[in-house]
Amino acid sequence: MVELAQNLIDGLGRGSIYALLALGVAVVFGVMHLLNFAHGELITVSGYAAFWAITNGWSWWLVVPLIIVVAVLTSLVIERLAFSRVRGASQFTLLLTSFGVHFVVSAIFLLYVSASVKNFARPAWTTQSTWALGPLQIETFDTVVIVVTILTLIGTNLLLQRTMFGLALRAAAADFDTARLMGVRSDTVIRGAFALSGLLAGIAGVFWLMRAGSTTPSAGIDPMLKGVLAALIGGLGSLRGAVLGGFALGLAEVLLRSWLPGSIAGLTEGFVFALIALLFIFRPQGFVSVAHAERV
Amino acid sequence: MASLLAGRTGRDLGWPVIGAVALFAVLVGGGLAYQGILGTGAAERLVTVMLIDAIVVVGIQIYIGNTGVLSFGHIGFGAIGGYVFALLAISEAEKLKRIPDAPFGLVGVELPPLVAIACAVAFAVVCAFVVGLGLGRSGAASGAVAATVITLALLFVTHEVARNWPDLTGGDRAGLAFPIRGSLDSRVPTYGALLIALIVARLFARSRRGRLAQAAREDDLAARAMGIDPLVQQMMALLLSVAVVVLGSSLKVWEDGSILPGDFFFQYTLVTLVMLIVGGRNGVTGAVVGVIVMTIGRELARRLGQDGFEVFGIGLDSAPLDWIFRENLQTVFLGAAMLGFMIWRPSGLLDDLEIDDWLRRRLGGAESDVPPALVPAPEAGSSTLSASGIDVRFGGFQALSNAGLEADSGEVVGIIGPNGAGKTTFVNVLTGMVRPTDGTFSIDGRQLAGEPAHELARAGLVRTFQNLRLFGSLTVEENVEVAALVAAEHRGDRSHQDTAALIAQAGLWEHRHRRARELDYGNSRRLELARAAAMAPTFLLLDEPTSGMSDAESVAMVEQVKGMADAVGAGVLVIDHDLAFITGISDRIYVLDHGSVIADGTPAEVQSDKRVKEAYLGSAAT
Amino acid sequence: MLEVSGLTTRYGAIAALRSASLHVGSGEVVGLIGPNGAGKTTLLGSIAGLLSPDEGSVRFDGADITGAAPEKLLRSGLALVPEHRRIFVDLTVEENLRIGGITVKASERAELLDEMAETFPVLREKWATPAGYLSGGEAQQLAIARALMSRPRLLMMDEPSLGLAPVLVDLVFELIDRLRSQGRTLLVVEQNAHRMLEVADRAYVLRSGEVVTSGTGAELAARDDLFDTFVGGA
């Protein structure tokens, strides 16, 4: 029982980061129908910025905003240079464009930094500090992650529900043409979606990088996969589904890791991927399906 | 093999084979010339790598090119095959050193390399079959995201298993390095595999299944409406494609003399996909050209990265350009090529142009310029289509209520009604695109309500679409032939018109080699009609055949429809908003309004019916 | 106010609109009638920027707006109530109206919201309900109110009575009449020709993508051959 509770908390911590990543993927998919395989690059770029700042003696208090700002700017630049040119293209083109962006970004770091792992110091509290809740040992880091994630989700929700921009974003995701008829500017809403996606990835990236303490040119693959898969689990196009998918993915990983016998525990990720493939086979629309009717 | 692939097309398969041999000659000849000029071991190795890449890329092309489904998983299949090959072919002594605890008694197995390759292919094909069932279940269609994600998951699952099962794979760092009685020092297996890959790819593309797959790639819905069940063709394409990919990946492992999890992962997926995209994914020739172009490009990028701007002894002062000509330039080059082509030329350099088509046009004998005439259809037995009590509800909205009609194969039956009356829903029910909530529907007593679209088409009810759904990048001829292929298999009891005669009848003889998407509107409509007629239908169902036509064109369409229907001995159901057209063509008319039949009778009866006028012009205020 | 001349729009190979011309004067209610498939929706879509016309021009208050983006057209005072209403079903009634007023100042938007609540009492009752739960008639009123939120100088409506029960059709035409009496300029596509001609100052009849006849509402309504013109019979 205690172990299960412990796992649930670990899973929530992990799932929080995935939820933020997935929400960013879902926001962009909503307005552009682009499944962004380059979402993880926001963390790659931020990671190198963090590495640079820390090696130059910045304190983490400054590195955190730096990571977030870099993620937002990277998201906007990628939209401007690549995705704005394939708006409305076929799914095939969109998928491969984002795949191409992933490679170009990681190759640039390969070219101008190096292929080797760049390590940087993590704040002490992210690794050693825990606090007790009854019989449970809870990591301070997990606690912070969960609290910040909840605050971010509340903030995002307020942004989407209460502001004209949020309203425009939701309207555009539901029916882009009609939103334009209402005067919603397509550039504004698409760039806004990329900025929001970058902001969420930036916050997730802070935690991701604090946990990893390093970055490499291909560091984006892992967060990209987590974000994309979680968004898909939840059902593409559904923001709530993406958040749920993130938490579900985090919990599934932690629980599988603790249940699988030691000899194959290394295969946790493999099992998770296989489970997700099975989910798609039997429920290609995800848990939270968004109805689409094709006019014949 | 050829006859199996050819099926009942009865088509000359000589040209595709000639094309495959020509591509083989280009690849091998170019490679040999290059290594001959440079005469270095590195050049020889580069050519070997290119040839093996060509096998893998051509393998991937068989699936992506013919089905339009984007797969990231083929390199995952390549990994599966590569490991099977390595595990079976490495000597027992080597295995005892590296993986003494290998499961399934694999340590003791040592097969000759070619046998090991055959086993690898067989194993991977079985895996592909299982994955293919899953892809089908997920509704794989051209551009389907769910299918792409499943293939991506496959790539990651194989990667994770390879990394985390060291007893089997040697793990992440050591991998399986081995000399198999020396590494691959002869090119003969590679040449053989390449030739097989090219021939299989070209023959499949021209085969019955290949062409049905391409039709579904162009338009999944229209393909179903022509009696094609795309899942069958997609499965065939997947199995063949995986077999060829594994042929290549086994050779790659053999040539490298080792296999590591990272060898068959993202990087190699990128390399092969870029090659495919750059050349043009819809053609084998495109795939080969992509391999050549990207191999040259990568090699240049690699050299520029290594040596600065100095190739073949031609050099510039490299200092100002140092910031770009660096190591790893080739990965940037690959990514940029992918992006550039997706943004500016998504169909690739060659699109779907094939070398054999080009050769045939240049060298082939002149084809007959005289279109064959239609043979009058023999008197077919009369058939009856009958639908009654059809209800369709979408959520709370009743789109059809108790709708029905009767039609005989000898007559033309019109269905009219104002916008929103439920005409389109009615058509969709009759053609299996919408499942009725209630009601029955049969042809000659055979119950058809709720059958899927392709079954209805095979049962003889063939439709056209209001907004035109042709197989855009197939030629006029190919559009009609696809339908004839389906008819040959599923409409065997009917007499078939020659496809060339149907094309001529539709007035498209001079356009027969043009792509359907290049036709103007009237010709597109006529092609859709000819394509439907080639299905040897019992009933032709025309959905708004004159929408977007001028009055004069509509009048001409009456003759077209009647001519086609007579030629294939089919009854006609026609739905249109244009009362003039409907009354000109129909023997009887049903009038729909608010989801129900409000009147039926001869054109004259219907035209004078007060309710019809009201339905059309709206009633006065209540 | 609005001057459309020689507009031709194709979907791929399909010419859905062939050299159509019409004009709408300030304060006029103009009807556009014709059978389905005649190109009415294409015409409105081409004016509103949803489709790009291949030939011809659209001028609004003298400015050439041919092929401009819809969000730009809306800002110049031209709003469209699209076919099938296209309300945002997951958004509440209030949110739908707010989106409609995205181009006006926040203070003005609040005023307009009050105004709409007053004009459309049914909407006020369902202010916080997701629009997907509205009945057909309520949804149509919402779609019109949403378009009015941008303070358009020309309001275009595409088939506002489509799919509505007869009593709701009455309601829609009463609404059009009311908007007219407020002095608004309307261009309305309707299939219900009789009713449209009752409320329209002038009307155009579209058939097979071409304008076949036009006249004042009364003139056209009085014509016996209207049905034939409509369906192209004899």
C152 to chain A: which residues are within 8 Å by CB?
none
C162/B550 CB distance under 8 A:
no
Task: Answer yes or no: is pLDDT of B183 > 70.
Answer: no
Question: What mean pLDDT, rounded, does chain C reach?
Answer: 87
C227/B616 CB distance under 8 A:
yes
Residue B111 — very low, low, confident or very high, per pLDDT cuts 50/70/90? confident
C41 touching chain A per CB within 8 A? no
Token pair, residue B419, equals 């916008």
Domain boundaries, given as residue ranges, for chain C: 2-228
- Identify which of C90, C91, C102 has the shortest CB distance to residue A183: C102
A189 touching chain C per CB within 8 A? no
B9 part of a folded domain:
no
Tens of pLDDT, residue by residue over B29-78, are: 999 999 888 888 888 889 999 999 999 999 999 999 999 999 999 999 99
Which residues have CB under 8 Å from B555's CB, separation 6+?
Answer: B581, B584
State whether B330 and B223 are in the same domain.
yes
Residue B308 — very low, low, confident or very high, per pLDDT cuts 50/70/90? low
Task: Answer yes or no: is pLDDT of B274 > 90.
Answer: yes
- Identify which of A168, A178, A186 has the shortest CB distance to residue C86: A178
- Give the CB-side neighbour count of residue B429, counting CA atoms within 13 A: 30
Maximum mean pLDDT: which of A115-119, B271-275, B618-622: B271-275
* Residues 256-275 of chain B whose Cβ lies under 8 A from any Cβ of chain A: 266, 270, 273
Provide the pLDDT for residue A290.
45
State whether B354 and B431 are in the same domain.
no
Contact C98, C109 (CB under 8 A): yes
Task: Tell me which chains share at least 3 CB pairs under 8 Å with chain C.
Answer: A, B
A60 part of a folded domain:
yes
Contact A31, A165 (CB under 8 A): no
B622 part of a folded domain:
no
Q: Chain A residue closest to C49 (CA)? A: A181
A88 to chain B: which residues are within 8 Å by CB?
none
- Identify which of B521, B548, B579 has the shortest CB distance to residue C232: B579
* Residues 77-136 of chain A whose Cβ lies under 8 A from any Cβ of chain C: none
Q: What are the angstrom distances between the C-alpha of C173 and each of B420, B611, C153, C179, C180?
A: 18, 21, 20, 10, 10
A223 part of a folded domain:
yes
State whether B354 and B491 are in the same domain.
no
- Give the CB-side neighbour count of residue A241, counting CA atoms within 13 A: 21
Average pLDDT value for residue range B374-384: 72
Q: If interface means Cβ-Cβ distance under 8 Å, which residues of chain C face chain B?
A: 10-16, 18, 35-38, 159, 161-163, 166-167, 169-170, 173, 190-196, 198, 208-210, 226-227, 230-234
Token pair, residue C148, equals 């009015």
Please tell me the distance in Å from B575's CA to the nearest CA on chain C: 12
Task: Answer yes or no: is pLDDT of B118 > 80.
Answer: yes
**What whole-number distance in Å separates Cα of residue B54 and Cα of residue B293?**
11
Task: Answer yes or no: is pLDDT of B235 > 90.
Answer: yes
Token pair, residue B242, equals 């995986």
**Of A82-96, B253-267, B540-554, where does mean pLDDT reach its minimum?**
B540-554
Which residues have CB under 8 Å from B82's CB, separation 6+?
Answer: B120, B246, B249, B250, B252, B253, B259, B263, B264
Provide the pLDDT for residue B620.
55
Tens of pLDDT, residue by residue over C101-156, are: 999 999 999 999 999 999 888 899 899 989 988 888 888 899 999 999 999 999 99
Task: Answer yes or no: is pLDDT of B10 > 50.
Answer: no
Tens of pLDDT, residue by residue over A114-155, are: 778 888 888 878 777 788 877 878 888 888 999 999 999 999
A172 part of a folded domain:
yes
B4 part of a folded domain:
no
CATH number, domain at A193?
1.10.3470
Element containing residue A92 per DSSP (H, E)? helix A91-112
**What whole-number distance in Å separates Cα of residue C205 and Cα of residue C212?**
6
Fold for C2-228, please state it: Rossmann fold (3.40.50)
C14 to chain B: which residues are within 8 Å by CB?
467-468, 521, 547-548
The boundaries of the domain holding residue A211 are 2-115+136-282
Q: What is the tally of structural domains in chain B?
A: 2
C102/A182 CB distance under 8 A:
yes
Better-scored residue on pLDDT, B305 or B115: B115
Provide the pLDDT for residue C110.
92
A148 part of a folded domain:
yes
Provide the pLDDT for residue B396.
67
Average pLDDT value for residue range C7-20: 82
B544 touching chain C per CB within 8 A? yes
Q: Look-up: residue for tokens 């809740």?
A: A133
Q: What is the tally of structural domains in chain A?
A: 1
Better-scored residue on pLDDT, C185 or B139: C185
Q: Chain C residue closest to B554 (CA)? A: C208
Tens of pLDDT, residue by residue over A208-241, are: 999 888 999 888 989 999 999 899 888 877 888 9
State whether B422 and B563 are in the same domain.
yes
A267/B342 CB distance under 8 A:
no
Please tell me the distance in Å from B427's CA to the nearest CA on chain A: 10
B422 touching chain A per CB within 8 A? no
The boundaries of the domain holding residue B602 are 384-617
Residues of chain A under the 70 pLDDT cut: 263, 285-296
Average pLDDT value for residue range B223-238: 90
CATH number, domain at B517?
3.40.50.300
Could you tell me which of B619, B614, B48 has the C-alpha nearest to residue B295? B48
Q: Look-up: residue for tokens 């009058």?
A: B376
B427 to chain A: which residues are within 8 Å by CB?
296
Q: What are the angstrom distances between the C-alpha of A26 and each of A32, A219, B53, C44, C95?
A: 10, 21, 36, 33, 21
Better-scored residue on pLDDT, C49 or B186: C49
Residue B6 — very low, low, confident or very high, per pLDDT cuts 50/70/90? very low
* Residues 152-171 of chain A whose Cβ lies under 8 A from any Cβ of chain C: 164, 167-168, 170-171
Residue B309 — very low, low, confident or very high, per pLDDT cuts 50/70/90? low
Question: What mean pLDDT, rounded, does chain B reach?
Answer: 84
- Identify which of A167, A174, A185 has the shortest CB distance to residue C71: A185
Provide the pLDDT for residue A293.
32
- Identify which of A35, A110, A285 has the shortest CB distance to residue B331: A110
| pLDDT above 90 coverage of chain B, percent | 29
C35/B578 CB distance under 8 A:
yes
A179 part of a folded domain:
yes
Provide the pLDDT for residue B376.
67
